[in-house]
Structure 1
Amino acid sequence: MKCPHKAHVALVDGENFLLARNDGQPFEPKLSVVATPSLETTNYSAGVRDQDDMGRRTGNSDLEELAHAAAAAEWLNAKALADELGELIVIADPKSLGEMRRHYHKELEACLIGEIGKAIATEPLENVAKAIERA
């Protein structure tokens, strides 16, 4: 996948959120950390529709993870609306990515140049850059 110079890369999973920037070339990205925002997970309605009967009975739900993904999307929306984001690639595990898509604002969608549905948010940035190259 082409990752333009100075494009942002959002790395999200159920617990982590990191915003990086490509300081390298489009087909040879070199990522550096821009921000590690602290998110308030207030949207607990996120993912309620996805809970299964067994998860409700045993209390093993992933509402915290889905609320975190919703909060990450809301943070990215705010940056896109403030015109502070530019081009963006979102990399998140498939469940988080699905929840984030439900919360994308039109301005954020206009910034998106790609998405990768992989659980690599905690990988070293060199590994993330290689995953972008291969995508």
Structure 2
Amino acid sequence: MHLPHGTHVAVADGNRFVMFRNDGDALLINLVDPATPDISTSNRGGANPEVRDLDERGHAAGVAELLNSRVLANEIDKLLVIADPLTLGVMREHYHGELEKRLVGEIAKTMTNVDTRKIEQAIAAA
């Protein structure tokens, strides 16, 4: 995948969230400025009553809400989301229409506990 300069990359799972920005160009990905913003986990909707599942759904919904707010504030122009399939599915339920317009792609893969170089390689291979 070619990742345009300045694209934000959100890497999430049901418990962790890290945001990067591509400081490289479309062909040479260089993720910088890792940040772990605070996430609201209050939106825990779901049919499964298990607390762990509800906590993970709440975290995924919170990540989507944070991304929505940053898109609407014009802090994010282009966005790539990398998340495990369950988290990605929950996040999609909460995407704002404007976020969907700015989405350059999604990768359904768990990458929250790997180093930045492996994330860059996964993006390049996608």
TM-score, reference length from structure 2: 0.94
The separation in 2 between residues aligned to 1:74 and 1:60, in whole angstroms, is 21
Number of positions where the alignment pairs a residue of Structure 1 with one of Structure 2: 126
User: Where do 5+ consecutive residues of structure 2 fail to align?
Assistant: none
Divergent runs of 4+, >4 A: none
> Which one-letter code corresponds to 2:96 in the other structure?
H
* 2:122 equivalent to 1:131: yes
User: Where do 5+ consecutive residues of structure 1 fail to align?
Assistant: none
* 2:60 equivalent to 1:69: yes
The farther-off stretch of 124-133 and 18-27 is 18-27
2:98 alignment counterpart: 107
2:113 alignment counterpart: 122
Match of 1:81 among 72, 82, 89: 72
> Which one-letter code corresponds to 2:25 in the other structure?
Q
Q: Secondary structure of 1:62's match?
A: helix
- Matched residues, percent identical? 44
The separation in 2 between residues aligned to 1:38 and 1:8, in whole angstroms, is 17
* 2:3 equivalent to 1:12: no
Answer with 1 or 2: which has the greater Rg: 1
Contact 1:9–1:91 (CA<8 Å) still a contact in 2?
Answer: yes
Residues 31-80 of structure 1 show CA distances to partners (whole Å, capped at 9, x for unaligned) of 013421011200011xx13x2xxxx5xx4641111110000000000001
TM-score, reference length from structure 1: 0.88
